[in-house]
A and B are shown apart, each in its own frame.
Chain A
Amino acid sequence: DGGITQSPKYLFRKEGQNVTLSCEQNLNHDAMYWYRQDPGQGLRLIYYSQIVNDFQKGDIAEGYSVSREKKESFPLTVTSAQKNPTAFYLCASTDTGVDTEAFFGQGTRLTVV
């Protein structure tokens, strides 16, 4: 089955630590995205990548970093510079073109303890 896999489903981070969220897709999509969702809120774009070895900042990139070394993988690191990291993180991918739907993973819920 093709799809997007995010791991872990739940993640706990101590203050001052960096953590990395995994996102893997086998849909052969060029574009991948990371969104943050806070309770009762919409999806805000953190970073996106349209092609391997290239990525762009979204609306709320501060305190986050990404890499895109392989087409299938787009990990997100939440650094200690992110002051309020507790949220639900969603990874998505799309095919190229304007009329294409986004496929989402099941999300990672990050909690700072």
Chain B
Amino acid sequence: GESVGLHLPTLSVQEGDNSIINCAYSNSASDYFIWYKQESGKGPQFIIDIRSNMDKRQGQRVTVLLNKTVKHLSLQIAATQPGDSAVYFCAEPYASGGSYIPTFGRGTSLIVHP
């Protein structure tokens, strides 16, 4: 299930299940999005990206869906494994004075039970 509140939203799944992690963004002008994975005690790492002229992009076991109408992104992980346990962030570049600053969502903690 998923819980929201003062703590990080958490998604718990069984090994082998498919996982879906959601992210809402606020800037309708954003045209590039990235999903990152952060394992405990480490820095975030790139998983997959998508441009606004696409609504779906697939990688190895991961798929990102973009719904610009409702400003929503999702990350789907197929056949989730214990090694997928981590915090997942969606990010978009925030335009500021001609620069683009990586800006991160709150994150979702994925827990995979063997």
Contacts and interface: CB of A to CB of B under 8 A. Distances in A.
B interface, by DSSP: helix, strand, loop or mixed?
A: strand
A107 B101 contact: no
A94 B102 contact: yes
B107 A42 contact: yes
Q: How large is the interface on B (under 10, 10 to 19, 20 to 34, 35 or more residues)?
A: 20 to 34
Interface stretch (B41-49, B62-70, B73-81): B41-49
B42 A106 contact: yes
Contacts of A40: 6-8, 109
A31 B89 CA distance: 20
Nearest to A30: B99
A105 B7 CA distance: 24
B52 to A, nearest CB: 10
Interface stretch (A12-20, A75-83, A96-104): A96-104
